[in-house]
Amino acid sequence: MKLQDYKKFITAAFVNNTRRGFVDWRDCGGLCMDVTEGLEGAKEGLSAESRYADLFELCNWTYVKWSNTDKDDSNGETQDFCACVYDIWETIYKNGEQILSHKQMLDILLEHLDGRVFDYMEDGIYDFVLKHFKSDDELAKKEQFLLKVMDDLKRQIPEKEILKYSLHVKEDYYVRVLADQKRPIQEIRDFLRSSDGYTNKELLAQIETEYGNYDEAIRLYREQIGSRSDSYWSDGPRKALMEIYRIQGDTAAYNAELYNMMVAHTGDEKYYLEYKALFTAEKWKVRWEELLNEFADKLPAINLWLSIEDRYDLIMDNAEPDNEYVIDAYGKKLFSMYPDRCLKVLANAADRQARTSKNRRDYKYIARTLKKIATRPGGRELAAELAAKFRAQYPRRSAMIDELKRF
């Protein structure tokens, strides 16, 4: 099959899913499916014939076409499409060097960083380029390319302040290239210190770790944790610290960070079980009681821990008076132990939902809660009673009455 035939197939996919020059959210999923189907077919056919240069051209042509197509990709279609392209690039990089050299591949990808695709898709090209092409000549080419890009951005910044962010991103890329070249760590530090407003200490900490400068890496990670108290931003630094402490054999420091991660992620059993494994059975009994005291005023946050320790009595307490989500999560065990209390929680939840409901979506939710009640022993009568009560209390909510007619 000729390269042009593959392009015709993909062009037809764009045409068939475009209305008045726009691909709306209803058609974007179909577009992604059709285009990736075309690319996957080309990957199979062209790879079998070792036509990796044609496959690379097709991927890049499609990449640009996707970027320049006006569309509503709010369901993540661009991410799915890009993943397909990157997978094919990976295949070409690994298998096609005798047909398309890494030098040629790098040159072509760098040419595509001229603004022809949107910035978030440019980031994908940069990411692939940085993760691959690690020969001395290729690293030197990447270094020179980034120096030019950064110089161009610096010239534009006085009139376009918004480009500062883009400059800092390119500085990240540049530093990664310097690290791949094993340049002296002081050179990397000096470059970052010379940067106006550069704040990515996490990247520098990663590089310090790669260079074996653990004390400096620990200092940088500690600074990040101190400036970002919420768990979302501190997760990366804490995990990195745990790895450094593991390498160093610093058990006490590792365990301290493990505890922090366990507390930050009470819904993840991985950290809890690893922490528990640090103790003997006897010592854990003592530590468990200490944890219960530590979390006495926020027991609902540790329902997972309570379930592991078989403390369903406390989970049941946490569900009352009307937390249906706890019943959803632990209902099998709770209903076997406290059936009447569980039904009461769901009934209270239905009452609350009825009071605050405003539209059919809310009414459907009430009906789902009543269904949960009706499926339990003795629950059918209770669900009917609640439905009748709601119909009497809210006679003007016709949509609610319609949703509850099955009860």
Nearest to 214 by CA among 236, 186, 184, 246: 246
As to burial, measured by CB atoms within 10 angstroms (0-12 exposed, 13-18 middle, 19+ buried), residue 357 is: buried
pLDDT band at 407 (very low <50, low <70, confident <90, very high): confident
CB 313 within 8 A of CB 334: no
In whole angstroms, what is the distance from residue 153 CA to residue 319 CA? 56
Backbone angles phi and psi of 22, in degrees to 5? -140, 140
**What region does 310 belong to: left with phi over 0, alpha with psi -120 to 50, or beta?**
left
CA 254 to chain centre: 25
CB 164 within 8 A of CB 157: yes
Work out the mean pLDDT of the chain and round it to a whole number: 93
- Can you give the pLDDT at residue 47? 95
CB 142 within 8 A of CB 131: no
In whole angstroms, what is the distance from residue 370 CA to residue 318 CA? 21
Tens digits of per-residue pLDDT, 31-56?
999 999 999 999 999 999 999 999 99
Nearest to 199 by CA among 225, 239, 230, 168: 168
Coil/strand/helix, residue 116: coil
Mean pLDDT on 109-119:
92
- Can you give the pLDDT at residue 197? 62
Q: Cis ω on the peptide bond leading into residue 237 (within 30° of 0)?
A: no
Q: DSSP string covering 236-302, please? A: HHHHHHHHHHHHHT-HHHHHHHHHHHHHHTTT-HHHHHHHHTTS-HHHHHHHHHHHHHHTGGGGGGG
Mean pLDDT on 204-215:
95
In whole angstroms, what is the distance from residue 218 CA to residue 62 CA? 44
Residue 145: both structure tokens together: 């390319």
Residue 106: both structure tokens together: 């790098």
pTM of the model: 0.77
pLDDT band at 201 (very low <50, low <70, confident <90, very high): confident
Q: Which long-range contacts (CB under 8 A, 24 or more apart) does 228-233 make?
A: 231/264, 231/265
Residue found by looking up tokens 């030197």 in the block:
140
Tell me what percent of the residues of the chain surpass a pLDDT of 90: 86
375 pLDDT higher than 70: yes
Of 220-224, 301-305, 325-329, least confident by mean pLDDT is: 220-224
